[in-house]
Amino acid sequence: MRIVSALVNVSWLAERLSSPALSPLPIRVLDGSYYLPKHNRDQRAEYRQKHIPGALFFDIQECSDKSSQYRNMLPPAQQFESYVGDLGVDNNTHVVVYDGMDRGLFSAARVWWMFRVFGHPKVSVLNGGLVKWCELGHPVTEEIPQVEKAKFSATYNPSLVRDFDFVEKNLTQKSVQMVDSRSANVFNGEADPSSKPDVGHMPGAINVPLGRIVDYETKIVKSPEKLQEMFTASGVDLARPLVATCGSGVTACGVALAAHLCGKEDVPVYDGSWSEWSKRAPPENIICGTHEKQG
């Protein structure tokens, strides 16, 4: 099985889109943009207005479990197979995914993680996303490509997914580190009160905001050495098991990607994340404030 790099840079993609023979695998570029209400952005509308030539739109909300009361939960394998097959992706496709967030990375890692969950390691995140693509002068288009449907066969990998019961048991067992990618004010419960119950964190969770993974000036993901330093400074031990979490399982995948780049390729995501935890956990397991309750 051919494994591809988790990150590819803009020049690498531009060269292969202009000269497909450079790539041993067919490449399918996907715009995996997803924005929160506070961003006041319409991901589908933005895709229609401007995207990398040849890119199709991967709708994280559409490709989710519609029967769940929680946001953005993984879809059943059959639904994923059908969805990505309609995008022209088969099991031999090298998928390259990006998003349009100004800082270079937000939701693309979620699509990267989903493909891996369903047994497709031939998936990469475009380092710097659409903002870096445009910054370096590469073309964009409004043209939506027409592609032939493909057959994709999913093989679910449960080792990359964790659920509520696992996380609840871990409060006692403390077998894994829970790493939360939300911003510090949301994690600490210091955001606008109107945001509740979207603020707070699980007992013992460690905060590694997604924004710290990307270099602010260059818009690209930090080097593995810098990521290792970031994890260590935050109190995360990459030699120990960890589970990534966030608001609804989207930006948590950025933590999983960052750990992957440091050589830790086995990081699962708590799919329900705070969307589920805030509704199911008892009040004593919802921590608001920088100091956790004792006793």
Buried b (16+ CB within 10 A) or exposed e, 245-282: bbbbbbbbbbbbbbbbbbebeebbbbbbbbbbbbeebe
Residue 263 is predicted with a pLDDT of 97
Which pLDDT score, from 0 to 100, does residue 293 have? 39
Whole-angstrom Cα distance, residue 15 to residue 275? 40
Q: Which DSSP symbol is given to 211?
A: G
In this prediction, residue 1 has a pLDDT band, given cuts at 50, 70 and 90, of very low
Whether 7-156 shares its CATH topology with 159-285 is answered yes
**pTM for the full predicted model:** 0.94
pLDDT in tens, 142-158: 999 999 999 999 999 99
Q: Summarize pLDDT for 214-265 with one digit per residue, the tens.
A: 999 999 999 999 999 999 999 999 999 999 999 999 999 999 999 999 999 9
CA end-to-end span of the chain: 50
Residues above pLDDT 70, as percent of the chain:
95
Pair 110, 60: CB distance under 8 Å:
yes
Phi-psi region of 282 (alpha: psi -120 to 50; beta: other; left: phi over 0): beta
Please report which confidence band the pLDDT of residue 38 belongs to, taking 50, 70 and 90 as the band edges.
confident
Cis peptide before 158 (omega within 30 of 0): no
Q: Does 24 score more than 70 pLDDT?
A: yes
Q: Is the pLDDT of residue 22 over 90?
A: yes
C-beta atoms surrounding 58 within 10 Å: 29
Is the pLDDT at 195 greater than 60? The verdict is no
| Per-residue model confidence as pLDDT tens digits over 75-99 | 999 999 999 999 999 999 999 999 9
d(CA 146, CA 87): 9
Tell me which residue has tokens 């909300």: 61
- Kindly calculate the radius of gyration of the chain based on its CA atoms and give it in whole angstroms: 19
Is the pLDDT score of 66 beyond 60?
yes
Q: Is 137 helix (H, G, I), strand (E, B) or coil?
A: coil
Among 15-19, 113-117, 204-208, 291-295, which is the least confidently predicted range?
291-295
**Tens of pLDDT along 271-290?**
999 999 999 999 999 998 65
d(CA 152, CA 78): 9
Name the CATH superfamily, with its identifier, for domain 7-156: Rhodanese-like domain (3.40.250.10)
Task: State the pLDDT at residue 197.
Answer: 59
159-285: in CATH 3.40.250.10: yes
Give strand pairing partners of 96.
29, 124
Task: Tell me the torsion sign for CA atoms 53, 55, 61, 62.
Answer: positive
**pLDDT greater than 50 at residue 199:** yes
What the block records as the tokens of 228 is: 């290792």
Catalytic residue chosen out of the listed positions 63, 246, 253, 262: 246
**134 noted as active-site residue:** no
pLDDT at 71 over 60: yes
| DSSP label of 230 | H
Indicate the domain borders of the chain.
7-156, 159-285
> From the centroid of its chain, how far is CA 277?
19
